[in-house]
Amino acid sequence: MATKQTHRIALIPGDGIGPEVVAEGVRLLDAVAEADGGFDFDFTSFPWGCEHYLRTGQMMPEDGIERLRGFDAILLGAVGFPGVPDHVSLRDLLLRIRHDFDEYVNVRPVRLLKGAPCPLKGVEPGQIDMTFIRENSEGEYAGSGSWLYAGTPREVVIQDGVFSRHGTERIMRYAFELARREHRSLTSISKGNALNYSMVFWDQVFEELSAEYPEVETHSYLVDAAAMLMVRDPGRFQVVVASNLFGDILTDLGAAISGGMGLAAGANLNPEGRFPSMFEPIHGSAPDIAGRGIANPLATLWSASQMLEHLGHAEWARRVLDAIERVLQDGDTLTPDLGGSASTSELGERVVRELLPV
């Protein structure tokens, strides 16, 4: 008898609606494993986040990174809650994991599924289908800078953008490879007119790499123009490569035009597999609706689909996304953000039933 493959998954449900949506991710993954029969999941949950911080003064224990190191992947809900400064909660948990595990690729699909609400007039599903490749390890979020003479009239703050050749080349190469594999165009997001060091360099590296991938159609837009075009003509964008900050902002815009924050998924990849990759909905902890059981779990389920693909189960990944799309189209079981009245777990269950009819 063939031995079952076990995927060891670390769960970091986090704060607010994080635990509510992660529970649905676990339900789905367990159901998939049971139906497949060839693999299963071994989940270990870590109670880290803002409550942990208020109790211990730390977002995660000193050896947190060491404890996560041996896992095959991480599923994260959301971190951050009123009472703990956001720059602490974000930097000491999420950014720390992304950084220490060299998860330098942030993959954010911006795809308008059939049945998902779109605020743009006259835009059909199929006309919004982008894959954002956001640099995830340096750039504007490198955490480099200084705060001098704090609290005095001479106060001065400096926040550096850090763009290494190594970091810039590897993210662009990842995007070029993806675009080539999928026969899609690649758009680079820049601001070379105003950021006269970082983005001039970014543009230069993009041009150098373009020469190595003559079969990939390329475009380059300034970030402000890109924001306008994503609304006016989203069909222009296929694979998109952006720095940490620009990618962060444009993918929230992407979420807004493709069903809302409750549908937007993200994967933080260490493509070489030296460290665990992390999968998470891109929304935050939504304190305004936390604890009410009405958070939309679909972003987390989409992230779970990305995790399945990463773990070598591409067919299941596709089937999960198809099931999400059919549930959106049916429209009988949706959470309030999608205009329905279903609870988080009702929608989570509904997707599992759609995927695996009994």
Closest to 239 in 3D by CA, of 195, 281, 181, 278: 181
The 80-99 contact track toward ligand NAI, x by CB under 6 A, reads xx----x---x---x-----
When the beta carbons of 125 and 262 are compared against ligand NAI, the nearer one is 262
Please report how close the Cβ of residue 335 comes to ligand NAI at its closest, in angstroms.
6
When the beta carbons of 27 and 184 are compared against ligand NAI, the nearer one is 27
* Listed ranges 100-108, 130-138, 285-293, 315-323: which one lies at the site for ligand NAI (CB under 6 A): 285-293
Please report how close the Cβ of residue 4 comes to Mg ion at its closest, in angstroms.
37
Task: Classify the C-alpha dihedral 143-149-152-156 as positive or negative.
Answer: negative
Please report how close the Cβ of residue 252 comes to Mg ion at its closest, in angstroms.
6
C-alpha of 264 from chain center: 7
Beta partners for residue 242, in sequence order: 134
Binds 248: which of Mg ion, ligand NAI, none (CB < 5-8 Å by kind): Mg ion
Count of residues of this chain found to bind ligand NAI when the rule CB under 6 A is applied: 23
Give the SS3 label for residue 218.
strand
Give the SS3 label for residue 138.
coil
Q: At what angle do helices 344-355 and 298-310 cross, to 10 degrees?
A: 40
Task: Write out the E strands in 20-113.
Answer: 39-45, 73-78, 105-111
As a whole number of angstroms, the distance between CA 245 and CA 336 comes to: 30
Q: Is 252 a catalytic residue?
A: yes
19 binds ligand NAI (CB under 6 A): no
Task: Name the amino acid, one letter, at 161.
Answer: G
Judged by CB under 6 A, which of 179, 289, 311, 324 binds ligand NAI? Answer: 289
Binds 261: which of Mg ion, ligand NAI, none (CB < 5-8 Å by kind): ligand NAI
* Listed ranges 58-66, 99-107, 157-165, 283-291: which one lies at the site for ligand NAI (CB under 6 A): 283-291
Judged by CB under 6 A, which of 11, 28, 73, 78 binds ligand NAI? Answer: 78
Given the residues 72, 141, 174, 191, select the one marked as catalytic: 191
Token output for 278? 């992390």
Given the residues 36, 102, 252, 322, select the one marked as catalytic: 252
Q: Is 53 a catalytic residue?
A: no
Q: At what angle do helices 18-36 and 314-330 cross, to 10 degrees?
A: 120
Tell me what percent of the chain is helix, strand and coil, each rounded to the nearest 5.
Answer: 45, 20, 35
248 binds Mg ion (CB under 5 A): yes
* Listed ranges 81-89, 118-126, 243-251, 310-318: which one lies at the site for Mg ion (CB under 5 A): 243-251
The pairing of strands 105-111 and 129-135 is antiparallel
Binds 140: which of ligand NAI, Mg ion, none (CB < 5-8 Å by kind): none
Token output for 300? 């987390």
Please check whether residue 308 is in contact with residue 319, taking contact to mean a CB–CB distance below 8 angstroms.
no
C-alpha of 125 from chain center: 21
Token output for 307? 């995790």
Phi first, then psi, for residue 155 (nearest 5°) are: -45, 135
Given the residues 149, 197, 233, 330, select the one marked as catalytic: 149
Q: Is 121 a catalytic residue?
A: no
**Residue 119: burial class (beta carbons within 10 Å; 0-12, 13-18, 19+):** exposed
As a whole number of angstroms, the distance between CA 42 and CA 17 comes to: 23
286 binds ligand NAI (CB under 6 A): yes
* Listed ranges 107-115, 225-233, 277-285, 316-324: which one lies at the site for ligand NAI (CB under 6 A): 277-285
Binds 163: which of ligand NAI, Mg ion, none (CB < 5-8 Å by kind): none
79 binds ligand NAI (CB under 6 A): yes
Active site residues: 149, 191, 224, 248, 252
Interface residues with ligand NAI (CB under 6 A) are 17, 21, 78-81, 86, 90, 94, 261-262, 280, 283-289, 295-296, 299, 337
Interface residues with Mg ion (CB under 5 A) are 248
